């Protein structure tokens, strides 16, 4: 058990503003359940098969122009949210590949690596000016707590200037000592494997060593407002 909130603060990440991390958390929890259930061998086989399928589909779509090969890999309801205000569906993605191939007939694409089917891997970006940054940089493990829709009080606590933000907070120590906050939509304890300095931020590449998910909708922050990530509706 970590002694006191200051020590706990050294290796925790509170997530409300990055919806893609909710997806990553779900994938990480799924992978972790596979491993913890003793199905490592089957997982390795599945990972190899998945990797082979990705490489085959990529070569067919980008190398040969057979964009319908994507149907074997992507869900019909596929949506890609990029810089455009309108998400790109599967048909639009196929059209984009056809357009790019027509514009650049000599284009050659390859897959050097796939990050990351196994082991489950997450990425955390922390601004260097953050008061938490130096503590995280020295740590071996950290916790990622994806807050749920009933944790606006926790958001307020961590937005405050209190010295001990964990004093009145319900949390428990993870297997490696990182603080897992109660009532969270999902919790992960991860091992920091790489630290990459990128401009104003440090990118932490981490391997999931413990994960849990609860039956609570995740909270999402966008444009100055909080939303219910499950119902896609504003909070409050």
- What is the band of 3 on the pLDDT scale with cuts at 50, 70, 90? very low
Per-residue burial over 34-49, b = 16 or more CB atoms within 10 Å of its CB, e = otherwise: beeeeeeeebeeebee
Helix locations, the chain, DSSP H: 5-9, 19-36, 40-58, 64, 90-103, 133-138, 152-159
Can you say whether residue 88 is alpha, beta or left, with left for phi > 0 and alpha for psi between -120 and 50 degrees?
Answer: beta
pLDDT at 114: 60
pLDDT per residue as tens digits for the range 156-166? 888 888 888 88
Taking the C-alpha atoms of residue 32 and residue 75, their distance in angstroms, rounded to an integer, is 23
pLDDT over 60 at 37, yes or no: no
More confident of the two residues 7 and 206? 206
pLDDT at 36: 44
Q: Three-state DSSP class for 110?
A: coil
What percent of the chain has a predicted confidence (pLDDT) above 70? 73
Taking the C-alpha atoms of residue 63 and residue 109, their distance in angstroms, rounded to an integer, is 7
Q: Of 18-22, 79-83, 110-114, 144-148, where does mean pLDDT reach its minimum?
A: 18-22
Find the mean pLDDT for residues 65-92: 79
Domains, in order of start, for the chain: 5-36+116-230 (2.30.110.10), 40-103 (no CATH)
**Packing angle between helix 40-58 and helix 19-36, nearest 10 degrees?**
130
What phi and psi values does residue 71 have, to the nearest 5 degrees?
A: -60, -25
Give the closest residue to 229 by CA, choosing from 31, 19, 45.
19
What phi and psi values does residue 121 have, to the nearest 5 degrees?
A: -130, 140
């Amino acid at each position: 058990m970590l002694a006191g909130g200051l020590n706990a603060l050294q290796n925790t990440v509170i997530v409300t503003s990055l919806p893609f991390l909710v997806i990553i958390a779900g994938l990480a929890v799924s992978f972790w359940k596979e491993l913890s259930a003793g199905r490592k061998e089957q997982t390795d086989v599945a990972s190899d098969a998945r990797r082979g399928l990705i490489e085959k589909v990529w070569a067919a779509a980008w190398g040969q122009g057979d964009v319908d090969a994507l149907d074997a890999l992507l869900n019909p309801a596929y949506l890609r949210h990029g810089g455009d205000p309108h998400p790109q569906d599967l048909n639009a993605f196929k059209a984009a590949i056809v357009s790019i191939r027509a514009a650049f007939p000599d284009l050659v694409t390859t897959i050097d690596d796939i990050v990351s089917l196994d082991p489950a891997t997450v990425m955390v970006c922390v601004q260097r000016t953050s008061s938490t940054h130096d503590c995280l940089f020295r740590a071996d493990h950290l916790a990622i707590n994806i807050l749920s829709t009933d944790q606006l009080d926790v958001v307020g606590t961590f937005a405050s200037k209190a010295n001990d933000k964990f004093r009145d907070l319900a949390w428990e120590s993870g297997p490696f000592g990182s603080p897992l906050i109660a009532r969270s939509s999902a919790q992960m304890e991860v091992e920091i494997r790489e630290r990459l300095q990128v401009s104003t931020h440090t990118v932490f590449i981490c391997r999931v060593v413990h994960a849990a998910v609860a039956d609570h909708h995740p909270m999402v922050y966008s444009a100055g407002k909080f939303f219910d990530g499950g119902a896609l509706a504003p909070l409050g």
